[in-house]
Amino acid sequence: MELTDLKIVIVIMEEGSISRAAEKLGYVQSNVTARIRKLETELGIHLFSRHPKGVTPTEKGLTFSKYALEILRKTEEAVMAVKEPEYPCGPLAIGVVETIASSGPFIQALSKFQRQYPEVALSLVPGTSPQNYENVLSRQLDGAFFTGDFDTSALEVEVEIQDQVVLLTAAENETSEYPSIEDAAWVVFPKGCPFRTAVEEWLRSRGASNTNIIEISTMETMLSCVRAGLGFALVPKSALAGDNELLRVYPVPEPYQYATTRLVRRNEQFRSKAFAAFAECVRTTGF
């Protein structure tokens, strides 16, 4: 049994077809078929059930694939660990949520990181919290920020940031009374954003609907919409930077008062020096 055999098994599982797996791997189909048959003979089991549309893994095949995937990942970790230089460098992909990416402390951390570690090719990948969570687990990202509650048993939490959440309205709505949230339009991020979820839950608790919404994708657009009086918004206080003269800030009820954002990586023995340096810059910036 060779590592290549394990990789072939995983790709066949992903593609559901030996021919598509061979094409993806750049192998001749007959060679892939022969290697799978040889492996099945060696193990004394059938890994796949063949049918006209392709193949499906057997129960034993599913069990074997889990171990095969773990072995391949550990092998990849080992190679990275021994080949990594003694200083932070190389590519680093970090998933960010809009509320973090636009905050003053994060910009400071980013500036510090780039000054100190110019040989790291940092990529900031925007996404919702659920997207970032899934993309770290699937190894599409080296690490990511997400806000809200997720199962972190397979992750290592490097930094935890608790932020106060506030209600924003246009300054022209300034009044001695608390603004009426039931009749307002709301400026929100796409589904999956915990602040949008908080808005929806808050409105439901007041017996109001959440149909009057304006969905946007950037913090800058959100603040512009609120300044123009187009709607209200819930945001973390740290995201408020620059000119806020045209905004009015209100406290929110206790269930929605705070939000926790985490910087995470996969719970693996290997942690790249580039990621460690990035996490340290975020940790010491002072969110």
Domains 3-83 and 90-162+260-283 share a fold: no
pLDDT digits (tens, 9 = 90+) for 194-214: 999 999 999 999 888 777 899
The domain 3-83 is classified under which CATH number: 3.10.20.30, 3.20.20.100, 2.60.40.1080, 1.10.10.10? 1.10.10.10
Alpha helix ranges (H) inside the chain = 3-15, 18-25, 29-43, 59-83, 98-101, 104-116, 129-137, 194-205, 219-227, 273-283
Which residues are bridge partners to 94 per DSSP? 124, 143
Section 220-246 average pLDDT: 86
What sign does the dihedral 39-40-45-49 (CA atoms) show?
positive
Cβ atoms of residues 238 and 104 within 8 Å:
yes
Residue 169: its pLDDT value, please? Answer: 92
Q: How crowded is residue 71: how many other Cβ atoms within 10 Å of its Cβ?
A: 15
Q: Which of 171, 168, 159 is nearest to 105 (CA)?
A: 159
Instruction: Supply angle C-alpha 159, 164, 166, rounded to 5.
Output: 140
Residue 1: its pLDDT value, please? Answer: 80
Residue 174 above 70 pLDDT? Answer: no
Residue 176 above 70 pLDDT? Answer: no
The mean pLDDT value of the chain amounts to 89
Fold of 163-256: D-Maltodextrin-Binding Protein; domain 2 (3.40.190)
- In sequence order, the 6+-apart residues with CB closer than 8 A to the CB of 65 are 9, 10, 13, 47, 57
35 by Cβ neighbours in 10 Å (0-12 / 13-18 / 19+) ranks as middle
C-alpha–C-alpha distance, residues 102 and 208, integer Å: 30
C-alpha–C-alpha distance, residues 83 and 98, integer Å: 34
pTM: 0.75
Q: Which of 91, 66, 190 is nearest to 132 (CA)?
A: 190
pLDDT digits (tens, 9 = 90+) for 21-48: 898 889 998 888 999 999 989 999 899 9
The domain 90-162+260-283 is classified under which CATH number: 3.40.190.10, 2.60.40.150, 3.40.50.720, 3.40.50.1980? 3.40.190.10
Give the range among 69-83, 99-113, 196-210 with minimum mean pLDDT: 69-83
Cβ atoms of residues 211 and 186 within 8 Å:
no
Section 225-251 average pLDDT: 86
Domain ranges of the chain: 3-83, 90-162+260-283, 163-256
Q: Which of 92, 133, 143 is nearest to 263 (CA)?
A: 143
